[in-house]
Structure 1
């Protein structure tokens, strides 16, 4: 009698019916499936994040470990190119050709810092900076559009520096004008001039010419419509000292033709008008 009573179910825990047992089993399986889905989703997100970080870091590592990078400029088929000297993108502004009227370019931010260029130039710069970043080169826009007042201030500051060094007014004026164009002669007011440096090199000096960023620009900037405005070997034609950070937007086809010619903007337009 005692043994028979010991086999009874404990009070307070009624036996589950088959349907209740199956329902509980299904709920457990659903929880298990849900937990696995959440786990795998988390793993997928982690893998995606790691992949993104690797893809971002790889070019940086290559640039750091590989030392000096060399870039080969493409060859261009210019058989169908015809220069239009009156193309607005080819406007020539220098110390001998001052602006006849103040430009009013449509401007746009060319980078996340808000530096402005003429709208087409801004779009081209963004595309160029993105392409450079793919090989670990982080371009930095150090200057862009200037108002006439800002251009005046830039020239005056440069000239004053030479006056402070003891130069005569005429000497200081001539020296400053070979570095910063005189007021009314500065193409920065068109919005087409871009002063480009790179992360890790933020000084506007000729040392920039020995950076991977400059070598990349020298090879590929024409594909985005930019030319080196004052090349080292064209100083007699431009009247300006070599400034490896000073680039000018002229449009892709014009830039490619100018790059292939090896001429400065002054020379290129002079030859085109004679053709």
Structure 2
């Protein structure tokens, strides 16, 4: 009887050993599988993040490419909105673009012929008010803009800035080549004959005060107003005027907004 009980006990222990061994094996398999799954999930998440980043980059590049095409296409079209073409860092202009027809406003400066009459009227009316001002800069090709940008950047380097810091400082006041409104032929820099420096004090001259008050009547806006650098990407420039058409200029001036904000409405 004792042998039978001992044998039965041994059998139970043997069966329990098998069960426990199987359970341990299953648990080990589960742990390994979990680790594999965790590793796969991590790799998948990393790959997915990389693909998402790449996709966003491609999407951004596609949008910029489309913006280039749209700006040049709109400027060259007969559409009523040609004067509203947006050109800035996020909306670059095709580097080969040039106005189809240009009019010389003096021996060295030209503008898109479509704005020449309104510009000349604005300058003439200002002169009749006893103001003395002139167009210091008008249409600039891509190469000319690159020269201006490089020269300004070099000035910062001479002052002790690193090339990277000089670049960042330059782009606050000079558009990166390919993103300058001067390439459209619709932008002009007008300065006072009494004060020719391109700084904030230019805005205190009688000429700029008159222009800021009346430029909209001729289809122009002060393109880079004070306290709007976060929107335009360019610091206050009380000499840079952009033609947008008389209706848009009136609305933009009355609302105290920028071209970017106007086009987003």
For 1:102 and 1:266, how far apart are their aligned partners in 2? 23
Could you say what the CA RMSD is over the residues aligned between the two structures, in angstroms?
A: 1.6
Q: Which residue of 1 aligns with 2:102?
A: 107
Does the 8 Å contact 2:212/2:222 carry over to 1? yes
Q: Which residue of 1 aligns with 2:216?
A: 222
Q: Which residue of 1 aligns with 2:250?
A: 256
**Are residue 154 (structure 1) and residue 148 (structure 2) matched?**
yes
Q: TM-score, normalised by structure 1?
A: 0.64
- Greater helix content: 2
For 1:102 and 1:229, how far apart are their aligned partners in 2? 23
Does the 8 Å contact 1:152/1:182 carry over to 2? yes
For 1:238 and 1:173, how far apart are their aligned partners in 2? 17
For 1:210 and 1:269, how far apart are their aligned partners in 2? 29
Q: Which residue of 1 aligns with 2:120?
A: 126
From 183, 194, 206, the counterpart of 1:189: 183
**What's the offset of the Cα at 1:101?**
5.0
**What's the offset of the Cα at 1:121?**
1.9
From 267, 270, 273, the counterpart of 2:264: 270
Match of 1:93, SS state, is: coil
Match of 1:229, SS state, is: strand
**What's the offset of the Cα at 1:96?**
2.1
Does the 8 Å contact 1:95/1:177 carry over to 2? no
Alignment size in residue pairs? 186
From 88, 101, 104, the counterpart of 1:94: 88
**What's the offset of the Cα at 1:170?**
1.8
- Runs of 4+ residues deviating >3 angstroms: none
Q: Which moved more, 1:131-140 or 1:97-106?
A: 97-106
Ranges in structure 2 where 5+ consecutive residues have no aligned partner: 1-78
**Per-residue CA distance 1:166-220 (angstroms, 9 max, x = gap):** 2222211111111101111111111011000122222222111111111101110
Match of 1:244, SS state, is: strand
**What's the offset of the Cα at 1:164?**
1.6
Higher RCO, 1 vs 2 (CA within 8 Å, ≥6 residues apart): 1
For 1:175 and 1:269, how far apart are their aligned partners in 2? 27
Does the 8 Å contact 1:129/1:138 carry over to 2? no
Structure 1 residues 86 and 159: CA distance shift in structure 2, 3 A:
farther
Structure 1 residues 162 and 255: CA distance shift in structure 2, 3 A:
same
Structure 1 residues 143 and 268: CA distance shift in structure 2, 3 A:
same
Match of 1:159, SS state, is: helix
Match of 2:111, SS state, is: strand
For 2:137 and 2:178, how far apart are their aligned partners in 1? 18
**What's the offset of the Cα at 1:115?**
1.9
**What's the offset of the Cα at 1:113?**
4.5
Q: Which residue of 2 aligns with 1:200?
A: 194
